[in-house]
Amino acid sequence: MLLTIDKLLNAAQLDKIHEMLAQAEYEDGKVTAGMAAARVKNNQEMKLPPKALELLLRIIMSTLGHNATFRGAALPLKMADPIFARYQPGMTYGDHVDDPIMGGSGPKFRTDVSMTIFLNDADAYDGGELVIRTTWGEKHVKLGAGDAVIYPSASVHRVDPVTRGERLVCVTWIQSLVRDAARRELLFELGQAREVLLKSDPDSDATKQIDRSYVNLLRMWSNC
């Protein structure tokens, strides 16, 4: 499932993030890439003192934890610490698939869902589209500041070259409670219908049946 989330970050959060990013140093993005991805990766990633980085991570993680659309679609079990990346003119990230297992020297986790949060407006740079290969063709994604997109980590994707301006993004990866992407999509759609019914007609037999079906499918498919 490829899903966009509008206005995940609000204006105040974006201002604080940009304030911190303006003070950051950047290193070659190949440092965090796997062997295959490093061959096609040409961007930079933020380096900040621990306390400043902790503040940024708290902003992102708290926002994701309170966003119902993200929780319903990703069904998060574990998450990677977000990475803040920039692309300046000439920078790109060629076709690649995200590493299946992440965690560095700490606890390992499986990557089921990838997420990109756009930190500046689409008109602040030319090029730089996130291009995701799907069963229905390539999808080009370039969203506004604070908007986000989630998609299966197994998808082949790339970032087209930036030709003007600066592309700023935050990226992270999620191990889901439900490993299979098709099952996650089904649960997301069923969960949306369930929420509507629980609010509009909570005592009906149909609502109770949908509620039980969602809960028991999640129980059946969860791999935690």
Are both 99 and 186 inside the same structural domain? no
pLDDT number for residue 38? 81
pLDDT number for residue 48? 86
Domain end marker among 141, 160, 176: 176
pLDDT number for residue 35? 74
Q: Are 126 and 48 in contact (CB under 8 A)?
A: no
Residues whose CB falls within 8 Å of the CB of residue 119, separated by 6 or more in sequence, listed in order: 9, 14, 17, 18, 21, 84, 145, 146, 168, 169, 170
Domain count across the chain:
2
Q: Rounded to whole angstroms, how far apart are CA atoms 79 and 159?
A: 22
pLDDT number for residue 34? 73
pLDDT number for residue 170? 97
Domain of 42: which CATH number?
2.60.120.620
Are both 23 and 92 inside the same structural domain? yes
Are both 150 and 187 inside the same structural domain? no
pLDDT number for residue 104? 76
- pTM of the full structure: 0.95
3-state SS class at 23:
coil
Are both 165 and 189 inside the same structural domain? no
Are both 105 and 197 inside the same structural domain? no
Q: What is the mean pLDDT of each run of 10 residues along the chain (224 residues)?
A: 97 95 90 80 92 92 96 97 96 95 86 98 97 96 98 97 98 97 97 97 97 97 89
pLDDT number for residue 97? 94
User: 197 lies in which domain range?
Assistant: 181-221
